[in-house]
Structure 1
Amino acid sequence: MQDTQTKAASLSRRTTLQFLAAGTASIALPGVAQAAAGAASGNPAQQKAAALLDSAAWRLLDHNPEGATGLGIDVGAHAALRAKAEDRSFAGKAALARILREDLARVEAVPTAGLDHATQTSLAVVRSAYRTSLDGFAQPYGDVAVGGWRNTPYVVIQNVGAYLDTPKFLDADHPVKNGADAEAYLARLAKFDDQLDGELERIRKATDQGLVPPDFLLDRAIAQMTSTIEDARNNGGGLVASLVGRTASIPGDWDRRAKAIVSAEVVPALERQLAELKRQRGLAKSDPGMRERPHGAEFYAWALRASTTTPVPAEEIHRRGIEELAALHGRMDPILQKLGYTTGTVGERMTALGTDKRFMFAEGDPGRTEIMAFIRHRIDWIRAQMPRAFRDPVKGNVEVRRLPLAEEPGAPTAYGGAGSIDGSVPGKMWINLRTTDLHRKYDLPTLVHHEAIPGHVWQGEYANRLPLIRSILAFNAYSEGWALYGEQLADELGAYADDPVGQLGYLQSIAFRACRMVVDTGLHAKGWSREQAVRFFMEKNGNKREEVVNEVDRYCSWPGQACGYKMGHSEINRQRSRAQAALGARYDLRDFDQAVVDGGNVPLDVLAKNIDSYIATGKAG
């Protein structure tokens, strides 16, 4: 009882402070103000719902303690989480599913009458995320991202698994500021082998059930894991160096202890996983999609629903992708004509543009340095424009980092996300620099706007203002739809006013996401080959082979995820058009954008309800 009361009081104070910080909005989402008012006034129903949401959040974080560290909240009463690690075994996943069922029942039992809009939104978010996740746990195999985007049939593959996640997390997100932090690092390092073995039992069972990844994905995963093992055998590699490099002024035998854990526990566990991947490779075929795998059609239908937060089937998504691609190419054609690219398809002309030396970065480390400076300059520019698009701009606290070398071969060109709730850990834009040929000077700006500002990092800072459960749960269609909308905002704010080639890069990026709808459904529902998918991007949209091979491989390991981007982007624009029509002269871009981010990361049907409230408030004002 004491613990519940303490959490509820903490949430109440936090909600009130969030409301005060957001007080400059002229047409804000009404639930934000009502949430603070309800909590401050002692509304019993409001307080009970807030306490339930907070309790659900901490129960979820007990199963994902790394998430608490990433948010910077593994302190005080929850400091023990800093030394814990996610249980990736069958037992760990079963325990997580049990918690979801219990808390879903608690949330569904809450009477919504008398609750403010913001709290009703949070309850709807939990219901949607938990129901979808439980449907995922009912699948015969795979990894379920609870309120996340990385749903996959393959527990360990080229872009999935503790062998990638844990080293990067320990180096980038686990703080080492004192002896207790260093001890927690060692405790987590000592649990790394349990994580690997927990995954191992799951991939062995999946293999025995007939689920074998495509051979080309296994080739990547085997090469990457071999590299990870070689690094770990070299005096513990990065796993040891990360700790030792941050404990120079902290007394302790950190080097020896970390090396002992890596050599005696981590390396053998990695070798066990590698042996299983090699066993799978002996059974593997080249068929890329889920259609060719046991229960694949059922898994893909669920994965599409989880990714798009809609029941739209694969055939309809495929059709929409083709139509949206044609419309975007219709915008690109006249720009290409003016630049002198007059013959061939849009894809062929964009391919020709990509060979222009003026838009390439230098090779090797000089080019990598140039790219990092380019990104930071673009972030500074777009951050300064944000008051033109939002009533209540956040800081845009972002750090640009290169992806770990072991991850780069199987990773996309970049990805990003927000930092800790208190801002002590900045958001990050991770950039793939295995070769500078991945990037062009005309496509890098829009990539920055997608991953950093006003995309993922920017939106995540607003999510961190919401009740804790809302910082944890996210929906792919909203997350990626917003990031694409962020690219659009940059264009509308003048990012390419004097740069038609840069605008082509932006339009090609949006068109790329329309291609994804076609390719993902083609791979998993229509029997496309890997090469057919690669050629579609290259021929239809002019994308570089170096870029799209990794992309296509990613769709093979994360079925459905790629469809959420354009589905979400189109829905946000549909809601914007609806608000413009409803409010007329009262419409203001800053108010609409503020309503979308203040409403938080939501399924698309809940987004529509949030915009209903925004429109109603605008009309009343």
Structure 2
Amino acid sequence: MSLKIHRRAVLAGTMLGGAASLVPALAQAADTPATPLSRLFDQLVQAQLRRSPESATSLGLDTGANADLRAKLSDQSAAGIAAAKVQTRAELAQLAAIDRAGLSSAERIDLDCVIYTRRSAAAVQAFDFGGTSYGPSPYVVSQLSGAYQSVPDFLDTKHRIETKGDADAYLQRLQAFAEQIDANTARMRHDAGVGVVAPDFILDLALDQMTKTRQPGSEALVVQSLVRRAAAKGLGESYGRDAARIYDAAVLPALDRQIAATRDLRRTATHDAGVWKLKEGAAFYPAALNATTTTNLSPDEVHRFGLDHAKMLSAQLDTLLRKQGYSKGSIGARMAALYTNPDQLYPNTDAGKREAIAYCNDRLAAIRAKLPSVFERMPPYGFEVRRVPAQTEAGAAAAFAQPPAIGGSRPGLVYFNLKDSADWPKFCLATTVYHEGLPGHQMESGLALSNTRLPLIRKMTSFSGYGEGWALYAEQLADEIGMYDDDPLGRLGYLKFQLFRANRCVVDTGIHHLRWTREQAIRHFIDAEGEAEGFATREVERYCVNPGQAASYKLGHSVFVDIRERAKAKMGTAFDLKAYHAAVLAYGRVPLDMLREIGDAWIAKG
């Protein structure tokens, strides 16, 4: 069985997941003399929080002057969308007015990063349709986008319940949830009017999830969450009754209206998978590709890049597979056979799962001991691997990271979903530890969180190409410093996941630019690397609603590697791997084109 990995643009998720710990950073910033740039950044952060109360809560910043945000959700109505566009243009004008002459090189990078985010937003906002998921999405409602699927989890896991005030705010947000659903439904109808309708199979997925969400108030997750947590704090039973009343009177009718609208669209929806079918699809896809990869590569260039790297990686896998006795059949067929090797499977029992987690923590400890030899600075945090709790395994991602608390009160965590141990054969575990943990996401995010120079607005900003590119580079670095010297199957796992990211570039551009069918895209994953059909299907359906994002991983990796190889070529024996890592990590997360400029400047100095 293939892995069921649904890795997000992890840094975006981890910043929100652990950013309550960023609050102390605001106090630290108060001791720093204000400048026009820092004052503007503070204003932009405040405006961003006011536009997105959900972010304020996730960041732990719904306090003080922003305490009212605890009872609100973002405005997703037509008026709210229009206001966001006006705000983006206004912020671009404010940023352009900053006098660059007096800025340090680091401040210019900070400014350029923030300008980049607003320009990218403006480019996507120019299209009068769609919403967001892992990035720009042409569809406001899908299996991965829309309030119906995001708000219940947000209220359950992010909205704190400590006091009656918190519970009162929860009830207000529950009412706002119904308003968001209706706003999304109105946007769906608007988009359909300009010819933007999700593929039939995407609407089927959304309808399946909507109907499962449609429960009586007494059984709904958002109601039961408040009942449970209010009782734990001794707040009485009235909150549960009030929540059920709001849910039945407001949320369910709104959800019914959305289900009806989705069914109407489903009757005439086509099976075409890519955005090429949309009137503005030929322009939307490059804009989405640029927004998520932070490069200016064309779809054709990304497709060719993916094919070239997949060919190279397949050749490397072929050599290693033959050495392990897997010599017959395609790369995909041989990798599929390796997944069934009983020597690589942990028992699907609690004891077997504890053994798998122990192995992961052993790999994390082993590589951490080696990292001071290749990094000038280590994150001042603890890190560990845990199993996803059994009660949440069914809906959780296969592997993900959560950052440490900035003060170190909570370690950085890597979670593996071991609902079925066969999803995680041993040879696939180590490279995922290095990607999600050290020296991957936990290393990069830990260094960014502890970087006292970075302003808060930069710590709130994530670029998928940089974050995922670094994590893939970290997998390569693990191989280079000897983590697979006595683990040839582990090296196969590492190369297999590199191949997977190369094929993402091929498949994403195939769907949206070359007009591949859903079935053609699924078959490519199965034939090229031995993916299970279910996993390949979920991946392809994700790309259909998140154009471009899947290409950011391997493209980002290539930039990190290119900078390093050019530095080696110029510096020769003077090349210092520690200095290279310090150079590319020094400024936090940046767009890939900017990362290349940073690398060029560092190489020129060397």
TM-score under structure 2 normalisation? 0.87
| C-alpha separation in 1, matches of 2:361 and 2:248 | 39
- For the pair 1:156 / 2:145, whether they are aligned, the reply is no
Find the counterpart in structure 1 of residue 68 from structure 2: 80
Aligned residues: 578
- For the pair 1:554 / 2:542, whether they are aligned, the reply is yes
Find the counterpart in structure 2 of residue 310 from structure 1: 295
1:588 Cα deviation after fit: 3.0
Map 1:500-519 → 2, pairs under 5 A: 500-519=488-507
Find the counterpart in structure 2 of residue 3 from structure 1: none
Map 1:376-391 → 2, pairs under 5 A: 378-391=363-376
Alignment equivalent of 2:160, drawn from 165, 169, 175: 175
* Cα separation, partners in 2 of 1:498 and 1:533, compared to 1, 3 Å: same
| C-alpha separation in 2, matches of 1:386 and 1:447 | 17
1:195 Cα deviation after fit: 1.6
Find the counterpart in structure 2 of residue 209 from structure 1: 194
**2:364–2:438 CA contact under 8 A, matched in 1:** yes
1:348 Cα deviation after fit: 2.1
Find the counterpart in structure 1 of residue 40 from structure 2: 52
| C-alpha separation in 2, matches of 1:66 and 1:200 | 20
1:530 Cα deviation after fit: 1.3
1:274 Cα deviation after fit: 1.8
Output one character per residue of 1:301-350: Cα deviation in whole Å (capped at 9) or x when no partner.
21111122222111111111111111112222221111111122322211
Alignment equivalent of 1:277, drawn from 243, 251, 262: 262
1:489 Cα deviation after fit: 2.7
Find the counterpart in structure 2 of residue 218 from structure 1: 203
Find the counterpart in structure 1 of residue 28 from structure 2: 14
**1:328–1:511 CA contact under 8 A, matched in 2:** yes
| C-alpha separation in 1, matches of 2:230 and 2:576 | 48
1:47 Cα deviation after fit: 1.3
Find the counterpart in structure 2 of residue 251 from structure 1: 235
Find the counterpart in structure 2 of residue 27 from structure 1: none
Find the counterpart in structure 1 of residue 181 from structure 2: 196
Find the counterpart in structure 1 of residue 440 from structure 2: 455
Map 1:310-349 → 2, pairs under 5 A: 310-349=295-334
In structure 2, the residue corresponding to 1:113 is in which secondary structure?
A: helix
Map 1:369-380 → 2, pairs under 5 A: 378-380=363-365
* Cα separation, partners in 2 of 1:379 and 1:226, compared to 1, 3 Å: farther
1:408 Cα deviation after fit: 6.0
Question: 1:77 corresponds to which letter in structure 2?
Answer: A
Taking only aligned residues, the RMSD between alpha carbons, in angstroms, comes to 3.0
Find the counterpart in structure 2 of residue 263 from structure 1: 248
Find the counterpart in structure 1 of residue 285 from structure 2: 300
- For the pair 1:528 / 2:530, whether they are aligned, the reply is no
Q: Which moved more, 1:527-536 or 1:444-453?
A: 444-453
Alignment equivalent of 1:357, drawn from 317, 323, 342: 342
* Cα separation, partners in 2 of 1:357 and 1:423, compared to 1, 3 Å: same
| C-alpha separation in 2, matches of 1:606 and 1:14 | 28
* Cα separation, partners in 2 of 1:126 and 1:65, compared to 1, 3 Å: same
Find the counterpart in structure 2 of residue 6 from structure 1: none
Output one character per residue of 1:88-114: Cα deviation in whole Å (capped at 9) or x when no partner.
222222222211111111111112112
Find the counterpart in structure 1 of residue 552 from structure 2: 564
Structure 1: runs of 5 or more not aligned? 1-9, 18-38
Map 1:436-447 → 2, pairs under 5 A: 436-447=421-432
Find the counterpart in structure 2 of residue 128 from structure 1: 116
**1:72–1:420 CA contact under 8 A, matched in 2:** no
Question: 1:198 corresponds to which letter in structure 2?
Answer: A
| C-alpha separation in 1, matches of 2:117 and 2:591 | 9
In structure 2, the residue corresponding to 1:459 is in which secondary structure?
A: helix
**2:401–2:441 CA contact under 8 A, matched in 1:** yes
In structure 2, the residue corresponding to 1:212 is in which secondary structure?
A: coil
1:140 Cα deviation after fit: 2.6
- For the pair 1:93 / 2:78, whether they are aligned, the reply is no
Q: Which moved more, 1:128-137 or 1:462-471?
A: 462-471
**1:218–1:277 CA contact under 8 A, matched in 2:** yes
Find the counterpart in structure 1 of residue 225 from structure 2: 241
**1:399–1:426 CA contact under 8 A, matched in 2:** no
| C-alpha separation in 1, matches of 2:61 and 2:455 | 13
Question: 1:539 corresponds to which letter in structure 2?
Answer: D
TM-score under structure 1 normalisation? 0.85
Output one character per residue of 1:456-489: Cα deviation in whole Å (capped at 9) or x when no partner.
3442333334211112222221122122122223
In structure 2, the residue corresponding to 1:443 is in which secondary structure?
A: helix
**1:405–1:434 CA contact under 8 A, matched in 2:** no
Question: 1:390 corresponds to which letter in structure 2?
Answer: F
| C-alpha separation in 1, matches of 2:537 and 2:389 | 18
Output one character per residue of 1:217-269: Cα deviation in whole Å (capped at 9) or x when no partner.
12211111211223x54533354235623651343433223323322222222
Find the counterpart in structure 2 of residue 589 from structure 1: 577
**1:304–1:560 CA contact under 8 A, matched in 2:** yes
| C-alpha separation in 2, matches of 1:204 and 1:453 | 46
Find the counterpart in structure 2 of residue 35 from structure 1: none
